[in-house]
Amino acid sequence: MDSYIYILDDLIFFFTGVLFIYLFVLAVASHFKHIIYSKAKKKYHCAILIPEGSPLITIYKEEPYEFITYNDLYQRINSLDKEQYDLVLILSDTTCALSPRLMDKIYDAYDSGIQAIQLHSITENRKGFRNRFRILCDEIQNSICRAGNTQFGLSSNLLGTNMAIDLGWLQKNLKSSRTNIERKLLRQNIYIDYLPDAIVYCQSAPACPYRKRIRKMASYLLPSLLEGNWSFFNRIIQQLIPSPLKLCIFVAIWATLITGYDWTSSFGWWILLFGLLIAYSLAIPDYLVEDKKKKKHSIWRKRHLNSELKEIPA
């Protein structure tokens, strides 16, 4: 019985260790500088699709953005004139602001042959533990599965919104509102880039407009490997990886069980757990860390001021 437990422990440790190395390498790579595209040599036209009732039209009424509202995204995309627009920018219903020179960065990438571009979504509402934790997980996803991927020439994961895509390709491949655009792009081996400096500010975390079926994606694992479609293969692997919280909980529980069974065999697991925490910490962007430092500093200043006021005689 002991031998089976040790064999099982070794197998789980091996695969978890490989997963740790994979995540650590991508987290480190996400800190490398993203490629800067040369300025677009020609002028492009982009239709910016926003849901009805979006405040962007009022906010940017003085800007030369071509906003087009929609109630049904599928119908609106198919109604666009390919002769008038080269690409389409789809924004989420929670979008409240756009970063400066957003369109210039998109045009530069498009002029360099990039047909699909994922923009960087930043959630403005960071109050409360649940909101902050979700934003933390989203930014870890951005660092590892988007910025990290593109540093190795692999496609970025596509959120399903806050993205720019070639209009001709989209009209040809979008069969319904439930079409998984990301899967179609990856199956056709079309590169998806991620622009971390092209920021879309949202009131709350944007949701993917279509359902991502893990079982269906997993069915393409072997075909993508045999075809040498590494971006698609990498995307399937990343979709099968547990979330940071679930993975850390699993490693912590297993490490605790092994410690109780044979504490001499548990050191590797605790080191692995510590390594995972470091890898995920590297994937957290600076602005979230700075927000936390500012919050702690403001709390300290408030307490320090209150203590000083108490010491001052009336």
CATH code at position 118: 3.90.550.10
Confidence check: pLDDT of 213 > 80: no
pLDDT at 281: 95
CB 225 within 8 A of CB 233: yes
Same domain for 307 and 158: no
pLDDT at 298: 42
CA dihedral 7→13→19→20, nearest 10 degrees, is: -170
Domain boundary among 240, 267, 283: 240
pLDDT tens for 235-282 read: 999 999 999 999 999 999 999 999 988 888 889 999 999 999 999 999
Same domain for 188 and 291: no
Confidence check: pLDDT of 294 > 60: no
DSSP 3-state of 213: coil
User: In the predicted model, what is the mean pLDDT of residues 36-47?
Assistant: 93
pLDDT at 147: 96
Domain containing residue 256: 2-27+244-311
CB 48 within 8 A of CB 72: no
Q: How many domains does the chain have?
A: 2
Residue 313 region, left (φ>0) first, then alpha (ψ -120 to 50), else beta?
beta
pLDDT tens for 87-115 read: 999 999 999 999 999 999 999 999 999 99
pLDDT at 297: 41
pLDDT at 309: 42
What six digits make up the tokens of 268? Answer: 């590797």
Same domain for 251 and 132: no
Same domain for 214 and 78: yes
Specify the range with the lowest mean pLDDT, choosing from 65-79, 178-192, 207-221.
207-221
Same domain for 264 and 170: no
pLDDT at 305: 40
CA 204 to chain centre: 15
Same domain for 230 and 256: no
Reported as a pLDDT band with limits 50, 70 and 90, residue 292 is low
Q: Is the dihedral of CA 57, 58, 59, 63 positive or negative?
A: positive
| Whole-number percent of the chain with pLDDT over 70 | 90
Same domain for 209 and 82: yes
Same domain for 232 and 285: no
User: In the predicted model, what is the mean pLDDT of residues 32-55?
Assistant: 93
Confidence check: pLDDT of 204 > 70: yes
Reported as a pLDDT band with limits 50, 70 and 90, residue 293 is low
Of residues 219 and 170, more confidence is placed in 170
Same domain for 253 and 211: no
| Whole-number percent of the chain with pLDDT over 90 | 71
Domain boundary among 240, 268, 302: 240
Edge-to-edge strand ranges of the sheet holding 116-123: 67-70, 46-51, 87-90, 163-166, 116-123, 192-202, 95-98
pLDDT tens for 27-38 read: 999 999 999 999
Same domain for 39 and 20: no
User: In the predicted model, what is the mean pLDDT of residues 70-77?
Assistant: 92
